[in-house]
Amino acid sequence: MVPAPASQAPPRAACPELHLPPPLPGIVAAVGEDELRWLCLRLAEALQAGPLAAVWQLEVDEFSDLAGELADLVVHGLAGRQRQRAVIAWVRLWGRHGPLELDEGQRQSWLGLWSGQLQRVPLPAYLARPLVRWMEALTAQWVQPGAVLPLRFPSPA
């Protein structure tokens, strides 16, 4: 089957609005921006190797892009300043890698992997707990009743 020309391709749905949880003042400085970005990279690696592997079958460059957008979303969302940059990262993440709609099991896997990354650092509880709660609030909006992430299959040659 030959794909339809771009002019006949179905229109892509608009990116859903992102509702960022309240920022956590001082957390980026306390944890370190580089450390937070590293945690997001490790989270993306764990997601790709585990619960979202069927969805995010990405080339190395695509994966680096996804991990970078996720890091921007988290770092700028947590900081409270330049939150518009977090929204831009969300639009890029969604636009380049598809809808992020999770079922509750996938969300729990995501949260478990995030908690695991925070324990590996290790972060003291007074820093880790707010980061877990913040990620819980962020990912709650991605849960769709009965959602199953769409599988991406390679295009026929």
Chain centroid, CA 54 distance in Å: 15
Res 148: pLDDT: 47
Identify the structural domains of the chain with CATH numbers, from first to last: 20-140 (1.10.490.10)
Indicate if the pLDDT at residue 3 is higher than 80. no
Res 125: pLDDT: 93
- Residue 124 pairs in a beta bridge with none
pLDDT digits (tens, 9 = 90+) for 118-129: 999 889 999 999
- Residue 143 pairs in a beta bridge with 102
pLDDT digits (tens, 9 = 90+) for 12-25: 557 788 889 999 99
Q: How many residues does the chain have?
A: 157
Res 38: pLDDT: 95
pLDDT digits (tens, 9 = 90+) for 20-51: 999 999 999 999 999 999 999 998 888 877 76
How far is the C-alpha of 89 from the C-alpha of 74, rounded, in Å?
Answer: 9
pLDDT digits (tens, 9 = 90+) for 140-156: 988 876 544 443 333 44
